[in-house]
Structure 1
Amino acid sequence: MTETSTSTITDGKYVELTYLVRDSKTGDVLTEISRPLNYVHGVNEILTPTITCELEGKTQGARVDLLVDCNELYGPRDESLVITEKVAVVPREYRQVGTRILMENTLGQMKSFLVTKIEGDKITFDGNNPLCGREVIYQVKILLVRDATAEEMEVGRNVEADPGA
């Protein structure tokens, strides 16, 4: 087996990567993950099925840029998830743009909303994913590719990594 084949992403390979997400229109960085994520290719997926599929055959050290239509991931924007209230009825700790709040509907289901705007005596919450309606570019950097251990194959990721660390 050559060195190239051992560092190529195929089923059963343990993969570590970092990524950032850019808005395809503005080029603005929307998210950047610099702490490596890991998975076992063919056992589980990372990020999205499309990205996992595109990583197949790529090698350690490569950067892969992928254009992703977030409507395919999160569905189209749903304007019924945009709620405007009077600021006075909202607890003070939620009165800041960028704050996340969990709300419960009449069926007892929880949904995360983001405070997106405060104007005058009105505050707006949006339950849509912030990437909804956007085309983004995932820039994935493949840091490590190696054969997965039997234990990693079973759980689909590094078993020694402490997710809370």
Structure 2
Amino acid sequence: MQQAKNGDTVKVHYHGRLTDGTTFDSSEGREPLEFQVGTGSVIAGFDQGVEGMSIGEKKTINIPVEQAYGPKDPGMIVEFPIANFPPDMKPEPGMHLNMTNGAGQVIPVVITGVGADTVTLDANHPLAGQDLVFDIELVAIDSPSRIIMP
């Protein structure tokens, strides 16, 4: 029976949740997630969890912070002057914004606090600092062609 290995393109259905059971993402009602195993296109723990699975196999994988989005980085949390916000904007905790750095790169942030003069912005991935749990089902494997020359 064929098993998923590095270099294979696979398709998986998944249900991702936090350790408290809260769902953060699912492929339910959508096409399965397609990615190439071992290329870093998904988080390390997910990649490793799929490796060795066979088509039709289902399993639950527990992914620690270090193999998911990593720990929260305090350097990604900044105080931003409230005066730099547009006058017609009222910043509120939980609000998602896109900021631009000096190089023109867009950085998604969430407002985590609003003070009298500053707004606290968090640019960490929303799942940083979280252990994750995925229920996965491998639905397809496409191995790269291997041509053997005489």
Q: Same fold (TM over 0.5)?
A: yes
Aligned residues: 141
1:127-155, Cα deviation, whole Å (9 max, x unpaired):
1111121111122221223x4364xx8xx
- Is 91-100 or 123-132 further displaced after alignment? 91-100
Q: Residue 111 of structure 2 is aligned with which of 105, 110, 116?
A: 116
Query: Structure 1 residues 124, 31: closer, same or farther in 2, change over 3 A?
Result: farther
Query: Within 5 A, what are the aligned runs for 1:125-136?
Result: 125-136=121-132
Q: Residue 22 of structure 2 is aligned with which of 21, 25, 28?
A: 28
Residue 70 of structure 1 deviates from its aligned partner by 2.2
The two structures, once aligned, show a CA RMSD in angstroms of: 3.2
Residue 10 of structure 1 deviates from its aligned partner by 3.8
Alpha-carbon distance in 1 for matches of 2:143, 2:59: 22
Query: Structure 1 residues 95, 16: closer, same or farther in 2, change over 3 A?
Result: same
Contact 1:18 1:140 in 2 (8 A): yes
Matched residue, 1:79: 74
Calculate the TM-score normalised by the size of structure 1. Answer: 0.64
Matched residue, 2:97: 100
SS in 2 for 1:17: strand
Calculate the TM-score normalised by the size of structure 2. Answer: 0.69
Residue 23 of structure 1 deviates from its aligned partner by 0.8
Residue 26 of structure 2 aligns with an amino acid whose one-letter code is E
Residue 102 of structure 1 deviates from its aligned partner by 2.8
Contiguous gaps of at least 5 residues in structure 1: 154-165
Contact 2:35 2:42 in 1 (8 A): no
Give identity over the alignment, percent. 18
Residue 40 of structure 1 deviates from its aligned partner by 4.2
1:30-71, Cα deviation, whole Å (9 max, x unpaired):
2223432223446x3552333323323212222222111223
Contiguous gaps of at least 5 residues in structure 2: none
Contact 1:14 1:38 in 2 (8 A): yes
Q: Which has the higher helix share?
A: 1
Alpha-carbon distance in 2 for matches of 1:83, 1:19: 34
Matched residue, 1:144: 140
Query: Structure 1 residues 112, 64: closer, same or farther in 2, change over 3 A?
Result: farther
Residue 101 of structure 2 aligns with an amino acid whose one-letter code is E
